[in-house]
Amino acid sequence: MLAFFNTITRRVAILCMTTALITIMQTNKSRADTLIKAHLHASFDIANQQINGEMKLLIPPDTPLTLFVKHLETRSLETTPASETDQIDETAQRIDFGVQNYHRSLRLHFKKRISDSFYNSISEDAIVLTSGWHPVPDVPVLFSLSVDIPDDFLAISETDRIEERQAGEPVRFSFSRPQNSLNLAAAPWVKRSLKIRDNLTLHTLFFEQDDQLAQDYLESAARFIKRYEALIGPYPYHHYVIVENLMPTGFGMPGFTLLGQQILRLPFIKTTSLGHEILHSWFGHHIGIAEDSGNWVEGLTSYLADMAYRQDAGDGTMARKEVIQNYLNYVKEDTPPLGSFYAPGQHSIADKDLRAVGYGRSSMLFHEVRKRIGEQAFRLSLQQLYKQFGSQLAGWRDLQHLFEVESSTSLDQLFTQHLERTDLPVISIEELNVNPQTDHTELSFTIVQQNEQPYELLLPLIVKTLAGDRSFTRLIKDQRTAVTLPLDSHPLQLVVDPEYDTMRNLTIEEKPPVLSQLLGSPAVLVVVNDPDNLGPHQPFVDFATQLGWEIVSADSITQVDLIEKEVVFLGTSNLARGIFGLVVHPDTGFTIDIRKNPLALHHLMVLVASSSAQESATALRKLRHYGNYSFLHFISGRLEQKRKTAAMEGLHTPIDNVPDGVNVSTIDNFSTLVDAVSQAQVIYIGENHTSKADHLLQQMLIEAIYQRDNNIVIGMEMFPSTSQDALDRYINDPQVLETDFLKESRYFEVWRYDYRLFRPIFAFARKHQIPVIGLNIERAVVSDVFKTGIIEERKPTDKNRVPVDRHLDLPGYTERLLESYQGHTRLSLSSNGGTPAGFIQAQSLWDETMAESIVHYLQEHPEKKMIVLAGTQHTRNDSGIPPRVTKRAPYQQVSILNLASSSLSGDELVQTIDYGFYLNSGDLTPLGKIGVVLEQTRDDLPPGMKINEIMEGSRAAAAGLQVNDILIEIAGFAIREMDDVFIAMVGRLAGEEVEMTVMREGAGEYSSQKVTVVLYQPAPRKPHP
């Protein structure tokens, strides 16, 4: 990085790797004889790290001048002729020279002691001076320089020609382009050269130990110069020098670049960053930035260099997407717009927003211009920029004018919205329809901009059809734009801006979880296990504190914290395990693992592991360079692994799926399939809870598998572990009645679906003494989690114990649950005070408990094979119980589904099941109804269910039932609560006569009455008109 002076502009800048210094130049209106001429001479006391310097200035008439001498010791000042208007302000450390109507000369002797820093150093190894080492004029001047250096040193500065020096003579430089300051570097380098043509030679100045790199750098530089000469125009200098610095710099100056030794040795520098520096020779050095304009140079250079190289490598789409994501992650409300960007600041996290604007959004503006006006007009505009503004200053509107002239296209709105606005367009698709016509198909839809003030956008569109992809572009300007596209084949999917040619907002599906989102977030929560014993995580806590992040202990987390902030977990904790399970990271080094927050997909959860405080400290110093990654692992500060989580590309709107099919000649019969599935130790048979066919398939498979291996056990989603005693008694004791089992197991409390669906399965299990295992957790526990979003740990002896390891981040799991929550279950759930995050936690608790119950049972009974009966969403191979079992134990598992009752596509079936059977069956005959409305009696009334209402059309009144009767018995089964009614009515159909006992009040006393009611079936409700 390098700071350079310019007091008359806002361009006091600190530039970083692959960034060139912007040379401030006069326009051609200023002839050389009207410019101040400055000659610097410097010698060095290396032992004392001191500069001894002299500056001579020739000042033309009517020319004001201020010299800044901050941190310089001025020894003498001579002006000829002398003037009373000259003033030395020692407080401000400046010298002001008044305006005179005659030529004047100035001689100033100065010295400065250099303290080694990133910018300046003097040693026996090298001299590097890049900031404030000489008096700095407040206007650009014509510099010449001479320096006394050791005989074995070579030197470089801004100069028109590189001249060989004689031994004992000073090294001399002279530069015909005005600027505010000079840079100087000198060291005992080895010089290598490559002549491109007359008046253009490339050089390297490398230390001897890196001299073997010189040839590759020279050849790369030659390729870059030829590339940009073909694109823009002739290289504007006579030489280009690649200079090795002991400090880790990446500076660009007119005619040379100063690269740090460690940077120089990186293999990618000569093929990427070097080109960026060379391109600044055209933009930034040869053509500067107009005083009334923001900085366009960094964006154009980044676009034609960094982004172009990635485009050449086939990675242009990802490069543009990263630019957009960095902008969304770093830019804040108070970040200035592109038109007010002047310098990128330091290469720190705090200045990432400026770089996202000045480099990122700026480069995307040039990309949008290129797409808008076409390749030829874009190239011609760059060449005109070179011809018309060489050695001059240009501004944003100058560039706009050149692009408009070459393309005959108005770009005012495009430039204005990028230069003046900080928001990005938010796009969605509505009102999509497919309209078959006589000879083609039309796809119509509305493009909606959610912004209050719409953008003007040239929007790329791709329609995926049966015949292939069809590409379109549409220029949109309004908040709602109706679009109709003609197609020659049936459309399957609409994709908006799939290659990120537009600077726009991204959907959640398009955003991968990356480090930049964490570093740019205004609200980050860092969770520690023991605040008093941070151990290897102390450096991270210090790092987080500097960024203003909140540090909290794991036991103080709330649900709001988990869904409204980015959350960082330091080390392994039960809280993190309850979301991602037990995640194993490398034992040594420092790892940061960035993931989407399963409870709030627009936020992050981050797992950090470290083997020592030293590992944390060295890695954290490099972290900011890897903002586009999702996983980083360092050892001793060296990056060993990096990964990025995949995300959708483009805004996708599905239309229709291509149907999948099966070759019926390959369909296996029932017996063959049963032979295959019987090989697994865990066999899942999914069900729709009201489907008779699904339960019949379960019954058939249980019987068939039992015939092949009678050492089976049935695991059921329908029962919690607290019902296990009742299950055991019913299976093992033939004297236990069905009604007693339903009562004791609390069937209608814990499940509630029609028990007749399971009757044959229980009959078979009782007959053959097949254990039935309750796999689930109490519904009340799950309900509490849904309402609060908090899962409380329970004692190991508690039958409702909560699994420590829960995996909310299985692929598609959160998205599927959110769709369920927002769909048909939303109204009923929201009335209970639950939230989407609570719903996800509750459902994961259900799945994880069943997985843990399966593993726990099989570990205690390894000889057993378990057949699991559960809903089809729980038996999915991608995100149901099976992958959770796999994370706990390596059992062979298969998942089975009845295809006759499934609406899954072929792709979904491949992801979710192993075997599909096809079984149709009629529905169960509906149960008969008594025809009354019941409520629990009060404590002051006889126990039972009070009749509040008798339904019209029922036979209850004819049988003698009356309002306020208390129902106490049905068919000899005592009634105390509503579940008792359900138990007594199991299997009873319309037309059946059922004896009932009620308590009826008369003369202030209750007496029992027996009635016989003929059950009925209510007429179906008429649809709403």
HEC readout, 794-856 = CCCCCCCCCCCCCECCCCCHHHHHHHHHHCCCHHHHHCCCCCHHHHHHHHHHHHHHHHHHHHH
Instruction: Say if residues 365 and 357 touch (Cβ distance below 8 Å).
Output: no
Q: What is the C-alpha end-to-end distance of the chain, expressed in Å? A: 74
Kindly list the strands in the beta sheet with 682-687, ordered across the sheet, starting from the edge strand earlier in the chain: 772-776, 712-720, 865-871, 682-687, 893-898, 915-917
Regions in the chain scoring below 70 on pLDDT: 1-33, 85, 90, 92, 346-347, 792-800, 823-833, 1021-1025
How does DSSP classify residue 8? T
The closest of 233, 119, 122, 247 to 183, measured between CA atoms, is 119
The pLDDT of residue 350 is 82
Give the contacts of 267 (CB within 8 A, at least 6 positions apart): none
Please give the C-alpha separations between residue 541 and each of 549, 561, 978, in angstroms, as whole numbers: 9, 18, 56
549: how many CB neighbours lie within 10 A of its CB? Answer: 21
CB 877 within 8 A of CB 912: yes
Strand order in the sheet with 104-113: 73-80, 104-113, 50-59, 37-45, 142-147, 171-174
Helix 692-708 vs helix 759-768: crossing angle, to nearest 10: 20
Q: Name the burial class of residue 165, with classes exposed (0-12), middle (13-18) and buried (19+) by CB atoms within 10 angstroms of its CB.
A: middle
> What would the pLDDT profile of 951-1008 be if each residue is shown by its tens digit?
999 999 999 999 999 999 999 999 999 999 999 999 999 999 999 999 999 888 899 9
Q: pLDDT value at position 996? A: 96
* pLDDT at 25 (0 to 100): 41
Q: Are 915 and 882 within 8 A, CB to CB?
A: no
- 417 to 295, 411, 426, 456, 477: CA distances (angstroms): 16, 10, 14, 8, 12
**φ and ψ of 674, to 5 deg:** -65, -40
Q: How far apart are CA 571 and CA 590, in angstroms?
A: 11
Instruction: In whole angstroms, give the CA distance from residue 241 to residue 183.
Output: 13
Question: Residue 456 — left, alpha, or beta (φ > 0 → left; ψ -120 to 50 → alpha)?
Answer: beta
Question: 393-394 and 427-436: which strand pairing?
Answer: unpaired
Order across the sheet with 638-643: list the strands. Answer: 550-553, 524-528, 566-570, 604-610, 590-596, 631-635, 638-643
Of the candidates 747, 722, 717, 732, the residue with the CA atom closest to the CA atom of residue 854:
717
**798 Cβ contact list (under 8 Å, min separation 6):** none
Residue 576: strand, helix, or coil: helix
Domains of the chain in sequence order? 2-279 (2.60.40.1730), 292-402 (no CATH), 427-508 (2.60.40), 516-643 (3.30.379), 668-917 (3.40.50.11550), 932-1014 (2.30.42.10)
CB 133 within 8 A of CB 116: no
Buried b / exposed e over 856-876, threshold 16 CB at 10 Å, is: bbbeeeeebbbbbbbbbbbbb
Cα-based torsion angle of the residue sequence 897, 903, 909, 915 in order, rounded to the nearest 10 degrees:
20
Q: Measure the CA–CA gap between 813 and 459, rounded to whole angstroms.
A: 32
- Specify the pTM: 0.88
Instruction: Write the single-letter amino acid at 1002.
Output: G
Catalogue the long-range contacts made by 885-889 (C-beta closer than 8 Å, 24 or more residues apart): 885/682, 885/851, 885/854, 885/855, 887/581, 887/582, 887/805, 887/807, 887/851, 888/805, 888/851, 888/852, 888/855, 889/855, 889/858, 889/859
**Percent composition of the chain: helix, strand, coil (DSSP 3-state, to 5):** 30, 30, 40
Cβ neighbours around 282 below 10 Å, total: 26
Q: Is 435 exposed, middle or buried (0-12, 13-18, 19+ CB in 10 A)?
A: exposed
Helix orientation angle between 613-620 and 538-546, rounded to the nearest 10 degrees: 30
Q: At which residue do the structure tokens 């179906």 appear? A: 1020
Phi, psi of 803 (to 5 degrees): -60, 135
Q: Which residues sit opposite 966 in a β-bridge?
A: 946, 999
Give the pLDDT confidence score for residue 22 in this predicted structure: 41
950 touches 932 (CB < 8 A):
yes
Q: Which two tokens stand for residue 986?
A: 């199991």
The pairing of strands 651-654 and 631-635 is unpaired
Minimal CA–CA distance to 571: which of 611, 620, 513?
Answer: 611
345, 358 Cβ separation under 8 angstroms: no
Q: Looking at residue 789, what is its pLDDT?
A: 75
CA 915 to CA 164: how far, in whole Å?
A: 81
Residue 374 φ/ψ, nearest 5 degrees: 95, 160
* Strand-pair partners of 57: 38, 106
| Token duo for residue 217 | 């750098």
SS3 at position 397? helix
Query: How far lies 831's CA from each of 784, 786, 787, 791, 816, in Å?
Result: 14, 12, 10, 20, 21
Alpha-carbon Rg of the chain, whole angstroms? 39
Between CA 237 and CA 235 the distance in angstroms is 6
